């Protein structure tokens, strides 16, 4: 793609110009935006970049391993990977308010990130994978106060607190352009084409209190759902698909015994920017297959439902 090749060259020049011989740190989330931003900055300033990956214990199955594999082994980019799941889950203990969860995860993330950055000897710049829609979303129309449905920008306080200047090489791009740039930079397809994933992760897909046990149950159901979506060739036609673990138990029969387990809701939407969305019209046979697998293979779930709500009036996530 010539336009992405041109963008890449220009962006690299601009980053070099901005950073000079300063040090840059980048927080990786496992998502495509931070990955593309980091690879671009690495191309521009090489070893002046350090990446930090904070695992809050609320990622999907295999995600942490994927990040390490791609950065350390595929690109040979220095990466600190910190398993902070005990810390995050401890702070989330007993918390059920969605905004409270976001706040706790956001501030804990900043603490851990700050600590890891300190161990690396600090930095001058923070690289972020901010996209154009994030830029316009944070500017309210007409200059009035903007309506905030959910506090999306989980790590908003980071640059101020750490006294860092921002490097945001993707500020002019939309999601599809970031994906094209990722391909141009040689990122593996499974990372480039990955569905968006919220910063607070599975915490906002477990209404009610988050526990390690519930996160483990959800991760298994989610992995089965995504595997079936991939096998059916539907992954790229869907903007986002995920399972939600409801804090509701219902009665069922397993063999000849009564079961009393959680309900799992499946969500899948089409969208172009996440601002509006429609539920994905799976055929019934597909949904039945997924439900059967989840109920048979995941202990703790005995009922599966499908969410057919559009955005608006619903949101994509359940919290």
Query: Is 33 flagged in the annotation as binding?
Result: yes
In the complex, minimum distance from the CB of residue 123 to ligand XMP, in angstroms, rounded to a whole number: 22
Q: What is the Cα–Cα distance from 250 to 243, expressed in whole angstroms? A: 17
Query: Is 192 flagged in the annotation as binding?
Result: no
Query: Is 182 flagged in the annotation as binding?
Result: no
For 71, the 3-state DSSP assignment is helix
Query: Is 121 flagged in the annotation as binding?
Result: no
Q: In this complex, which beta carbon is closest to ligand XMP, that of residue 14 or of residue 150?
A: 150
In the complex, minimum distance from the CB of residue 215 to ligand XMP, in angstroms, rounded to a whole number: 16
Q: In this complex, which beta carbon is closest to ligand XMP, that of residue 48 or of residue 240?
A: 240
Query: Is 29 flagged in the annotation as binding?
Result: yes
In the complex, minimum distance from the CB of residue 251 to ligand XMP, in angstroms, rounded to a whole number: 30
Q: In this complex, which beta carbon is closest to ligand XMP, that of residue 63 or of residue 261?
A: 63
In the complex, minimum distance from the CB of residue 200 to ligand XMP, in angstroms, rounded to a whole number: 5
Q: What is the Cα–Cα distance from 51 to 99, expressed in whole angstroms? A: 28
Q: In this complex, which beta carbon is closest to ligand XMP, that of residue 292 or of residue 315?
A: 315
In the complex, minimum distance from the CB of residue 103 to ligand XMP, in angstroms, rounded to a whole number: 10
Q: What is the Cα–Cα distance from 213 to 234, expressed in whole angstroms? A: 29
In the complex, minimum distance from the CB of residue 140 to ligand XMP, in angstroms, rounded to a whole number: 16
Q: In this complex, which beta carbon is closest to ligand XMP, that of residue 27 or of residue 43?
A: 27
Q: In this complex, which beta carbon is closest to ligand XMP, that of residue 274 or of residue 300?
A: 274
Those residues whose C-beta lies under 8 Å from the C-beta of residue 154, and which sit 6 or more positions away, are 102, 105, 106, 109, 199, 200
Which element (helix H / strand E) includes 304? strand 301-306
The footprint of ligand XMP (CB under 6 A) covers 102, 149-150, 152, 154, 196, 198-200, 240, 274, 311, 315-317
Q: In this complex, which beta carbon is closest to ligand XMP, that of residue 4 or of residue 266?
A: 266
In the complex, minimum distance from the CB of residue 30 to ligand XMP, in angstroms, rounded to a whole number: 11
Residue entry with tokens 């020049």? 13
Residue ranges of the binding site: 29-35
Residue ranges of the binding site for ATP: 29-35
């Amino acid at each position: 793609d010539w336009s992405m090749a041109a963008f890449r060259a220009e962006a690299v020049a601009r980053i070099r110009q901005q950073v000079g011989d300063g040090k840059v740190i980048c927080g990786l989330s496992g998502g495509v935006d931070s990955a593309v931003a980091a690879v671009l900055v690495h191309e521009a300033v090489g070893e002046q970049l350090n990446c930090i990956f904070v695992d809050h214990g609320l990622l999907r199955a295999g995600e942490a391993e994927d990040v390490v594999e791609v950065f350390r082994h595929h690109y040979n980019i220095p990466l600190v990977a910190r398993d902070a799941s005990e810390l995050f889950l401890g702070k989330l203990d007993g918390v059920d308010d969605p905004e409270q969860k976001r706040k706790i995860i956001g501030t804990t993330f900043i603490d851990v990130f700050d600590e890891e950055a300190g161990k690396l000897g600090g930095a001058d710049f923070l690289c972020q994978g901010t996209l154009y829609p994030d830029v316009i979303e944070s500017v309210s129309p007409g200059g009035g106060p903007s309506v905030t449905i959910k506090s999306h920008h989980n790590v908003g306080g980071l640059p101020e607190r750490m006294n860092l200047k921002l490097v945001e090489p993707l500020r002019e791009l939309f999601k599809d352009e970031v994906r094209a740039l990722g391909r141009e930079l040689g990122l593996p397809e499974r990372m480039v084409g990955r569905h968006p994933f919220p910063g607070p992760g599975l915490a906002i897909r477990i209404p009610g209190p988050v526990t390690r046990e519930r996160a483990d149950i959800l991760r298994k159901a989610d992995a089965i759902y995504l595997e079936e979506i991939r096998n059916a060739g539907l992954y790229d036609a869907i903007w986002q698909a995920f399972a939600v673990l409801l804090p509701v138990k219902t009665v069922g029969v397993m063999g000849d015994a009564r079961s009393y387990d959680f309900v799992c809701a499946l969500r899948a939407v089409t969208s172009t920017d996440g601002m509006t969305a429609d539920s994905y019209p799976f055929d019934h046979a597909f949904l039945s297959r997924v439900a059967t697998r989840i109920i048979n293979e995941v202990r703790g779930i005995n009922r599966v439902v499908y969410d057919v709500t559009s955005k608006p009036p619903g949101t994509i996530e359940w919290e």
